[in-house]
Amino acid sequence: MESHLASLKPQRSFPKTLALSKVLQIESCSLRKERSMIPPTPHPLVSNGILSDFEKIIDELVKLMIIRWEYMKDEDVEVITKVLQDERAVVEKLFLNGNRISFVNRKFTNALKKNTTLKVLDLSDNNISLESTSHLAAAIKDNTTIGIINLKGNNIGDDGTKYLAALIKDNNILKVICLGGNNIGDDGAKYLAAALRDNKTLRKIYLTDNDIGDDGAKCIAAALNENKTLRKIYLADNNIGDDGAKCFAAVFIENKTLLEISFSGNNISDDGAKCFAAALKDNTSLEKIYLNRNNICDYGANCLTASLKVNTTLEEIHFNGNNIGHIGTKSMASRRDIHQLSHELKERETKITSLKDEITSLKVDLKRSKPINVVDLTNNNIASTLSKRPRIEKYEVQPKSTLAIQYEQNQKIVQVKEEKVAAEKAMEDAKEDLEDTQEDLGNQVLYVNFLQSKIDELAALAENAGADRAKVAEIRGRLYSNTS
């Protein structure tokens, strides 16, 4: 390959990756390159802005582990379909986000179903229809490698969510799914809740920027009481109020696996915050909770702050964008200082325990590493035994103590460092000697040139004075030889 397509070649320390919109300028296939990046000469695979060799493009794409494709149209999906179907393909991450594609092409979904290399699929901010959603869900359901899928911003709605819920329920590979910005309401939340009850592999689910209210929140909360694998759930920017918050508060008491949850941008007030506070006193797993941009006031903040005196696992709690005044802020600030001091104290206790264990281990090693000063072999039958010439076995070397091993390792490190310093000094000295030699050689060359020019001048004067020309040439040759 020539020109800028050389970037397709595998590099030593980087993954094989390609942003197609930054490689080709293609009109009919919408693989356009940014204007500032268009090469001054035509690309060998492009003629008058038209893809000239489809197969060569496929040959290059199958070598890539990461593919990003911008400015696509529905008809361009055929290229990716061919790549996914190709047995040579090694693509693991496919980013087709922001293209407004409907993905109605059944060949694409069939290729997804059979592909065995893809791990990450990003189809966010497209225009996936209800029909396409059903095909995609069926394909990913049967796929055996895709663990992360992003379908954010596709306006899938409750009906499309029903197909995705079936995918979540039966798929045993999926770890992360993003369904934010898809106009999912309470009905869609109910479908997802039913799926979460049975799912055993999902770790994260993003449901931000939807239309889930208290009814949907209640269903999801009930599902989390049964689900034992989900670690993080994001419900920011929905319509969840205090009733939904109360249901999730019950989850905090029973669920032992949930680590992070977001309720930012909802309608939770002091009543919901109070329920959260009561539950956090008994919770032993949650590490982060986001309550930004709600309707929590000083009373709710004080309740939550008081619960932190008992809770030992929560590391982050976010309140910004609420109605908390001076009293709530002061309460949280004092609790934050206490929590920070408590955390530092635990870290120090852990270090002290570790040091104690290390000291104990060293004492044991010291006892084991005491040398044997006397070996008494008198009154044995060594001579007669040796006369039989028994087979000589190699005695097993006793293991060295930890201190001895560390000492030897330190000695080796010191030795290597000293050798490195000596080698660097020797190299520096050799470099200086070389520079001096080059300078001396240059001076000698200049001096030789000077002598030879003077010899030429004397020979010219001798010839002008009437001397024998042959004799002058002979003498000049001997002088040249001496100066060289």
pLDDT digit string (tens) for 295-319? 999 888 888 888 888 888 888 888 8
The CATH number of whichever domain residue 295 belongs to comes to: 3.80.10.10
Same domain, yes or no: 257 and 111 = yes
How far is the C-alpha of 181 from the C-alpha of 331, rounded, in Å? 36
Average pLDDT over the chain reads: 76
Residue 437 lies in a domain: yes
How crowded is the C-beta side of 336, counted as CA atoms within 13 Å? 11
Residue 173 lies in a domain: yes
How far is the C-alpha of 136 from the C-alpha of 160, rounded, in Å? 10
How far is the C-alpha of 323 from the C-alpha of 296, rounded, in Å? 6
Residue 463's domain spans which residues?
405-483
How far is the C-alpha of 83 from the C-alpha of 102, rounded, in Å? 19
Last residue of a domain, one of 348, 367, 386: 348
Residue 220 lies in a domain: yes
Residue 312 lies in a domain: yes
Same domain, yes or no: 187 and 290 = yes
Same domain, yes or no: 462 and 319 = no
Number of domains forming the structure of the chain: 2
Please give the pLDDT value at position 258: 95
Same domain, yes or no: 311 and 212 = yes
Low-confidence ranges of the chain (pLDDT < 50): 1-52, 328, 337, 341, 385-397
Same domain, yes or no: 82 and 222 = yes
Residue 170 lies in a domain: yes
How far is the C-alpha of 286 from the C-alpha of 252, rounded, in Å? 8
Please give the pLDDT value at position 259: 95
How far is the C-alpha of 416 from the C-alpha of 425, rounded, in Å? 14
Same domain, yes or no: 342 and 457 = no
Please give the pLDDT value at position 47: 41
Q: What is the pTM of this model?
A: 0.62
Same domain, yes or no: 165 and 255 = yes
Please give the pLDDT value at position 356: 60
> Which own/partner pairs from 50-56 qualify as long-range (CB within 8 Å, at least 24 positions apart)?
50/26, 51/24, 51/26, 54/79
Per residue in 226-237, is it b (16+ CB within 10 Å) or e — as a string? ebeebbbbbbbb
Please give the pLDDT value at position 345: 56
Same domain, yes or no: 340 and 409 = no
Angle at 9 (CA atoms; ends 4, 10), nearest 5 degrees: 145
Task: Report residue 234: phi and psi, to 5°.
Answer: -120, 115
Same domain, yes or no: 445 and 302 = no
pLDDT (tens digit per residue) in 363-418: 565 555 555 555 555 666 655 544 444 444 444 445 555 666 666 767 777 777 77
Torsion of CA 335, 337, 339, 343, to 10 degrees: 180
Residue 372 lies in a domain: no
Please give the pLDDT value at position 170: 87
First-to-final CA distance of the chain: 53
Residue 355 lies in a domain: no
Same domain, yes or no: 340 and 456 = no
Residue 393 lies in a domain: no
How far is the C-alpha of 240 from the C-alpha of 404, rounded, in Å? 64
Provide the CA 116 distance to its chain's centre, in angstroms: 22
Task: Report residue 68: phi and psi, to 5°.
Answer: -120, 130
Same domain, yes or no: 216 and 79 = yes
Same domain, yes or no: 218 and 112 = yes
